């Protein structure tokens, strides 16, 4: 169906992007065959990696690929968790890593204009230095702006500040046949025709390649503080969240985390979490405009949590203490990665979250499989990890392959059935990519999937851009 890369194509790619930016060395291209999904079974090498430096080069690559019927897979920081940037049909991996300039930080409009290869870490640093903020923290620090927009990444701060979709005001996009379009701009509003901008956000590199973005910023957050509250029971911890929101307290983030993964991560990092009590923690992060307001907010959160069975309240009020807590939280993924088979990204109405987590516990017990579960409690976004180890006394003990392999599909099916029954979706922030593709029809009806396929064909008649992702065209 697709044409293979030959010398003729390699030469043309070199003329477009420069020979030094066209990599076909077998050893080097292996690095471009996977993302951060735990399942390495899905890895697939490209035939060539091209690193364009400008939108016009992206356009020329796509025009050539459309004409010659060569698959092209856009790639950002490859921190994705669903195989979105894996080139399943080989062909070209289009790595945006060289397009990494912050073009403008416009203080008057509070907007940034950036290229897609800027990483989240670099972006946040530059924005802070300019005295502004980009409040959502929607991914790993090495994720790139293009990848974050293509997956509509979320993150723990979505409860107060929304997901990346809420911040993207403009995009420059190269379409699969090589046309360059500019959508939106430094605008706070538009009611001007269908929003192609919103369609492109979250389209997982299947409709176009993002080559520039206009991102809205906010004034810097004056004071932040993290509270760690241990609970004896996960249900009580999660049920605290609607009580907080009911008291008109909207935290920057509310995470629930089981104690056993905290213990493993403490060991992994050789760092100490502030509490050893309880079996579950709520991590509540607050922002406020002054220390006085922060004290009042913290007291109100403590009162609600202690009233619901919280054992204690630990306050990380200095940058050092906050960094320690946040580092442990952000490294859980890495600490348990070696024994993770699959990470689910279920999002349900937030009032359903306690019920869903209880169901996870039941399934874990019934099937005798370890399913550590944590996530964004106030968004209803739950990351259950399907594991190939059991956990005993803070250690991961591998179980035989045949034992866990027989259970993975059953467990996933049961959890997705619970998600569907509660009116949820199978991805809150990671996207569908390759890994979740077989399950899309569990939560979207035939009409929606047909419309999506028709949109795909309209943008990409030769189906060359990131084929095999989200659905089979």
Ligand X SMILES: Cc1cc2nc3c(=O)[nH]c(=O)nc-3n(C[C@H](O)[C@H](O)[C@H](O)COP(=O)(O)OP(=O)(O)OC[C@H]3O[C@@H](n4cnc5c(N)ncnc54)[C@H](O)[C@@H]3O)c2cc1C
Among 52, 90, 91, 154, binds ligand X (CB under 6 A): 154
Structural contact between residues 214 and 185, judged by C-beta atoms closer than 8 angstroms: yes
Applying CB under 6 A, does 146 fall inside the site for ligand X?
yes
Q: Taking the complex as a whole, how short is the minimal distance between the CB of residue 151 and ligand X, in angstroms?
A: 4
Structural contact between residues 280 and 257, judged by C-beta atoms closer than 8 angstroms: yes
Applying CB under 6 A, does 46 fall inside the site for ligand X?
no
Nearer to ligand X, 21 or 79 (CB): 79
Applying CB under 6 A, does 257 fall inside the site for ligand X?
no
Structural contact between residues 102 and 111, judged by C-beta atoms closer than 8 angstroms: no
Nearer to ligand X, 152 or 280 (CB): 152
Q: Taking the complex as a whole, how short is the minimal distance between the CB of residue 218 and ligand X, in angstroms?
A: 19
Reported as type and span, the H/E element at residue 253 is: strand 253-258
Among 329, 430, 436, 456, binds ligand X (CB under 6 A): 430
Among 33, 144, 373, 427, binds ligand X (CB under 6 A): 144
User: Using CB under 6 A, which of the segments 48-56, 269-277, 299-307, 425-433 binds ligand X?
Assistant: 425-433
| Residues 63, 291: Cα–Cα separation, whole Å | 56
CA dihedral 441, 445, 447, 452 (to 10 degrees): -50
- What single string gives the DSSP state of each residue in 38-103? S-GGG----SEEE--SSHHHHHHHHHHHHHHT--EEEESSS--SS-TT--TT-SEEEE-TT---EE
| Residues 433, 420: Cα–Cα separation, whole Å | 19
Among 21, 66, 79, 216, binds ligand X (CB under 6 A): 79
Applying CB under 6 A, does 80 fall inside the site for ligand X?
yes
Applying CB under 6 A, does 326 fall inside the site for ligand X?
no
Applying CB under 6 A, does 155 fall inside the site for ligand X?
yes
Among 46, 52, 71, 74, binds ligand X (CB under 6 A): 74
Among 85, 88, 261, 288, binds ligand X (CB under 6 A): 85
Phi, psi of 235 (to 5 degrees): -60, -50
HEC per residue, 114-164? ECCCCEHHHHHHHHHHCCEECCCCCCCCCCEHHHHHHCCCCCCCHHHHCCH
- Per the structure block, which two tokens stand in for 202? 């979250």
According to CB under 6 A, which residues from 195 to 254 bind ligand X?
A: 204-205, 209-210
Nearer to ligand X, 212 or 308 (CB): 212
Query: Site residues (CB under 6 A) for ligand X?
Result: 35-36, 73-81, 84-85, 96, 116, 138-140, 143-144, 146-148, 150-151, 153-155, 204-205, 209-210, 333, 429-430, 433, 466, 469
């Amino acid at each position: 169906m697709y044409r293979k890369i030959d010398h003729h194509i390699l030469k043309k790619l070199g003329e477009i992007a420069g020979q030094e930016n066209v990599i076909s060395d077998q050893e080097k291209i292996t690095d471009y065959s996977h993302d951060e999904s735990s399942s390495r079974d899905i890895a697939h090498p490209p035939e060539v990696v091209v690193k364009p430096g400008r939108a016009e080069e992206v356009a020329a690559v796509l025009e050539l690929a459309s004409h010659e019927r060569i698959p092209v897979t856009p790639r950002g920081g490859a921190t994705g968790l669903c195989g979105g940037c894996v080139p399943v049909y080989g062909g070209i991996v289009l790595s945006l890593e060289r397009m990494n300039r912050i073009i403008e930080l416009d203080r008057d409009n509070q907007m940034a204009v950036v290229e897609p290869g800027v990483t989240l870490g670099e972006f946040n640093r530059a924005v802070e230095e300019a005295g502004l903020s980009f409040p959502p923290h929607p991914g790993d620090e090495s994720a790139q702006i293009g990848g974050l927009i293509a997956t509509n990444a979320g993150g723990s701060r979505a409860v107060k500040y929304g997901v990346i979709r809420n911040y993207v005001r403009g995009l420059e996009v190269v379409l699969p046949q090589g046309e360059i379009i500019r959508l939106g701009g430094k605008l706070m509003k538009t009611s001007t025709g269908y929003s192609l901008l919103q369609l492109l956000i979250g389209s997982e590199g299947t409709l176009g390649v993002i080559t520039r973005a206009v991102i809205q910023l906010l004034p810097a957050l004056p004071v932040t503080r993290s509270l760690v509250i241990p609970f004896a029971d996960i249900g009580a911890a999660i049920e605290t969240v609607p009580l907080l929101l009911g008291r008109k307290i909207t935290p920057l983030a509310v995470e629930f985390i089981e104690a056993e993964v905290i213990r493993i991560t403490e060991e992994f990092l050789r760092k100490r979490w502030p509490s050893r009590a309880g079996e579950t923690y709520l991590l509540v992060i607050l922002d406020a405009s002054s220390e006085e307001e922060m004290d009042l907010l913290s007291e109100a959160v403590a009162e609600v949590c202690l009233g619901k069975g919280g054992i204690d309240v630990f306050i990380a009020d200095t940058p050092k203490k906050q960094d320690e807590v946040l580092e442990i939280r952000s490294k859980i993924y890495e600490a348990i990665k070696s024994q993770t088979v699959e990470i689910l990204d279920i999002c349900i109405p937030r009032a359903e979250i306690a019920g869903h987590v209880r169901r996870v516990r039941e399934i874990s017990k019934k099937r005798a499989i370890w399913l550590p579960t944590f996530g964004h409690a106030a968004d209803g976004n739950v990351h259950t990890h399907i594991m190939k180890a059991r956990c005993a006394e803070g250690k991961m003990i591998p179980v035989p392959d045949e034992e866990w392999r027989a259970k993975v599909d059953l467990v996933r099916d049961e959890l997705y059935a619970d998600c569907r029954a509660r009116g949820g979706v199978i991805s809150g922030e990671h996207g569908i990519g390759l890994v979740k593709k077989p399950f899309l029809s569990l939560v979207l009806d035939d009409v929606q999937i047909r419309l999506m396929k028709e949109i795909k064909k309209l943008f990409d008649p030769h189906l060359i851009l990131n084929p095999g992702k989200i659905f089979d065209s």
